[in-house]
Amino acid sequence: MGLKKRSPTFYILAAFFALFVLFMYGPMFAIFTLSLQGQNGALTFPVRSFGFYWIKSLFLQQQRIGDFGAAFQRSLLLGLIVMALTVLIGLMAGLGFRRRFTGSRIIFYLTISSLIVPSVLVSLGIGIAFSLLGIETNWYSSGLAGHLTWTLPFAFLIMIGVFNRFNLSYEEAARDLGASEWQAFKEIILPLIAPSLIGVALFGFTLSYDEFTRTSLISGGRNTLPLEIFGMTTNVTTPALYALGTVTTAFSFCIIGIAFAAFQFFSHRQQQ
Amino acid sequence: MLKSWKSVEPYLLVTPQTLVFLLFLVFPIATIFIVSFWEFTGYSMTPGFTLENYRNIFTSQVSLATYLNTFKFVGLVWFFTLIIGFPVAYFLAFYIDSLRWQIILFLVCTIPFWTSNIIRMISWIPFLGREGLLNKLLMGIGLTSQPIDIFLFSDFAVVLAMVHLYTLFMIVPIFNSLMRIDRNLIAAAEDTGASGFQVFKEVILPLSQPGIAIGSIFVVTLTMGEFVTVRLMSGGQAASVGYLIRNQIGSLQYPLAAANAIILLIVTLAIIFGILRTIDIRKEL
């Protein structure tokens, strides 16, 4: 692996990489900074004063910045439902795909196609289909459906990748020793793939929590959090907008942190 | 009995997932297809068969310009995500020796994927706005005496934000391809006298092609139907097919929106099949 180590190319690429990281995170830190201002804060630099005025206003003065609390609760609940369904359905599909079966190619491409269909079509299609069938759209029905079309392909790809590298000899050994199908699954397969399932859960929750396009036409009367924030971009001209960004991003980071901790825990247990 | 169970088992396991996609992907798109031939009477749609919606789109200068503008966005975003994504993936795959650091830096690249796109767009305001850092900088070094309005709410801002959002869709597949390259191949090329550049051109670049293809598919798809970034970063001034569809739905012109959606889908799939001819994705998992 020691390819041209510490050559000039290394430093050029390292500098490029550093610039890229700055490009990815710079703007985010800018709004973190600007959200931590006093009452006289504005949308642009310089920071006029330091304080938690805008963060507090998010929680105290709901009427000024839309219904942040209710939208957050909806998104949280929806994210958890999508996460649970994504893990369950994705795991089942992954198990099914361990053997080639007639029609597996079609189902494979059907799943992948959900990733490559422009999101606006999913939203529009579900919207029109629901309205023609006379079913009311809602974040927990049509919205949930739209989210699953987005999270399941990722779950599926992760599961296929996991089972492609999966060593069958463990569970065969278990079966040879008299374990039932269910026991082999519960005692052997599940612990081995637990870290990957955490990954699937992370995808399921965060992709749902942040989803916009596939939800936008089919969330019904009540907005999910990203839709609510999008609405605010047009009428909120104070750092409250950034405060919202800071709080939701901090929440995302917490989720990512929890997922990594769980991932570490399960991989560690696996090695023992 | 056991044998028949074995043959049914995979089908049962993939049933929930297949149902989700049949009900919420195939059926809705079929509905769009049907509705695209319906008539629009000014305020509602009525079942029927007319090619009027498609004729409208193909004969309108506005929609032609909108499609061209969308292709412009797709082309620019694809180009920039590739020339930014490839070196980043290449650096991670070949220049970071310790696995630990490789994982850490890879995560640094992918974490933004798990945060909100809307927030990431909003975060450009302090940089690009009239009072933003970029204008202050340009005025500070005397390049301009007046703040320039076009940074925010412009095509430039749209492309910048999309590149910012979608580069990691390019990095991950390319990184994946680069990591699969057998390091012995490179050693062999070097032993037989290939220069660093030759190794890159003859070994690494061809073998990273599947990753580039998959990344390109992601970026093209994400950009083709975009309307949020277009709406937010252009202040509603730029045009894209996704945004057009969104507006037509807003004014309840469902058949017209449906016809546009079908054309958008066909164009997107044509590009994707063009890219797919070069690789077999099932090998990449």
Residue A33: the pLDDT is 86
Q: Is the pLDDT of residue A5 over 60?
A: no
Helix (H, G, I), strand (E, B) or coil at B128: helix
Q: How many CB atoms are closer than 10 A to CB B163?
A: 22
Contact yes or no for B13 and A92 at CB 8 A: yes
A224 close to A132: Cβ distance less than 8 angstroms: no
> Does residue B167 sit at the A interface (CB-CB below 8 Å)?
yes
Residue A83: the pLDDT is 96
Alpha-carbon distance A145 to nearest alpha carbon in chain B (angstroms): 6
Inside any domain, residue A186: yes
A122 close to B24: Cβ distance less than 8 angstroms: yes
Inside any domain, residue B42: no
A98 contacts in B (CB within 8 Å)? 10
A168, two tokens = 């069958």
The backbone torsions φ and ψ at residue A37, rounded to the nearest 5 degrees and listed phi first, read -120, 165
* B117 or B143: which leads in pLDDT: B117
List the single residue in B92, B167, B225 with the smallest CB-CB distance to A121.
Answer: B225
A188 close to A119: Cβ distance less than 8 angstroms: no
Contact yes or no for B114 and A95 at CB 8 A: no
Query: Nearest CA to A56 among A244, A262, A267, A222?
Result: A244
CATH number of domain containing B176: 1.10.3720.10
List Cα–Cα distances, A58 to A65, A68, A235, B198, B251, in angstroms: 7, 8, 15, 57, 33
B132 contacts in A (CB within 8 Å)? 44-45
* Partners of B40 in beta bridges: B45
Average pLDDT score, chain A: 86
Domain count, chain B: 1
Inside any domain, residue A75: yes
Identify the band that residue B266 occupies on the pLDDT scale cut at 50, 70 and 90: very high
Inside any domain, residue A176: yes
Q: Is the pLDDT of residue B277 over 70?
A: yes
Inside any domain, residue B115: yes
Which whole number is the average pLDDT over A26-49?
Answer: 79
A24-38, B32-46, B51-65, B269-283: lowest mean pLDDT where?
Answer: B269-283
Inside any domain, residue A20: no
Which of A131-145, B72-86, B191-205, B226-240: highest mean pLDDT?
B72-86
Place of tokens 């004014």: B251
Inside any domain, residue A180: yes
Contact yes or no for B132 and A122 at CB 8 A: no
Q: Is the pLDDT of residue A2 over 50?
A: no
pLDDT digits (tens, 9 = 90+) for A211-263: 998 998 888 888 888 988 888 887 777 788 888 888 888 888 899 899 889 88
pLDDT digits (tens, 9 = 90+) for B80-94: 999 999 999 999 999
Which of B19-23, B50-54, B122-126: highest mean pLDDT?
B19-23
B16 phi-psi bin (left φ>0, alpha ψ -120 to 50, beta other) = alpha
Q: How many CB atoms are closer than 10 A to CB A30?
A: 20
Inside any domain, residue A208: yes
Question: Distance between CA atoms of A209 and A79, rounded to whole angstroms?
Answer: 5
Identify the band that residue A82 occupies on the pLDDT scale cut at 50, 70 and 90: very high
B194, two tokens = 């290939």
Residue A1: the pLDDT is 44
Alpha-carbon distance A59 to nearest alpha carbon in chain B (angstroms): 18
Question: Distance between CA atoms of A118 and A214, rounded to whole angstroms?
Answer: 9
DSSP string, B229-270: HHHHHHTT-S--HHHHHHHHHHTT-HHHHHHHHHHHHHHHHH
Share of chain B above pLDDT 90, in %: 41
Q: Is the pLDDT of residue A42 over 50?
A: yes
Inside any domain, residue A185: yes
Residues 60-99 of B with CB under 8 A from A: 84, 87-88, 90-92, 94-95, 97
List the single residue in A10, A89, A125 with the smallest CB-CB distance to B17.
Answer: A89
Kindly tell me the burial class for residue A6, based on how many C-beta atoms sit within 10 Å of its own C-beta (0-12, 13-18, 19 or more): exposed
Inside any domain, residue B201: yes
Inside any domain, residue A12: no
Identify the band that residue A62 occupies on the pLDDT scale cut at 50, 70 and 90: low
Q: Is the pLDDT of residue A63 over 60?
A: no
Is the four-CA dihedral A125, A131, A133, A139 of positive or negative sign? positive
Question: Distance between CA atoms of A252 and B117, rounded to whole angstroms?
Answer: 12
Place of tokens 């509705």: B35
List the single residue in B35, B167, B186 with the smallest CB-CB distance to A128.
Answer: B35
Host domain of residue B150: 62-284
Q: Is the pLDDT of residue A4 over 60?
A: no
pLDDT digits (tens, 9 = 90+) for B112-140: 888 888 889 988 888 887 777 777 777 77
Contact yes or no for B118 and A125 at CB 8 A: no
Identify the band that residue B149 occupies on the pLDDT scale cut at 50, 70 and 90: low
Host domain of residue A172: 67-235
Inside any domain, residue B38: no
Contact yes or no for A96 and B13 at CB 8 A: yes
A36-45, A109-118, B215-224: lowest mean pLDDT where?
Answer: A36-45
Confidence (pTM): 0.88
CATH number of domain containing A97: 1.10.3720.10
Q: What is the ipTM of this complex?
A: 0.87
Inside any domain, residue B239: yes
Residue B65: the pLDDT is 92
The backbone torsions φ and ψ at residue B129, rounded to the nearest 5 degrees and listed phi first, read -65, 175
List the single residue in A156, A213, A256 with the smallest CB-CB distance to B228.
Answer: A213
A268-272, B61-65, B94-98, B228-232: lowest mean pLDDT where?
Answer: A268-272
pLDDT digits (tens, 9 = 90+) for A163-191: 888 777 887 888 888 888 788 888 888 88
Q: Is the pLDDT of residue A47 over 50?
A: yes
Residues 169-188 of B with CB under 8 A from A: 183, 186
Residues 99-118 of B with CB under 8 A from A: 105, 108-109, 111-112, 114-118
Q: How many CB atoms are closer than 10 A to CB B3?
A: 7
A198 close to A266: Cβ distance less than 8 angstroms: yes
Count, residues in chain A: 272
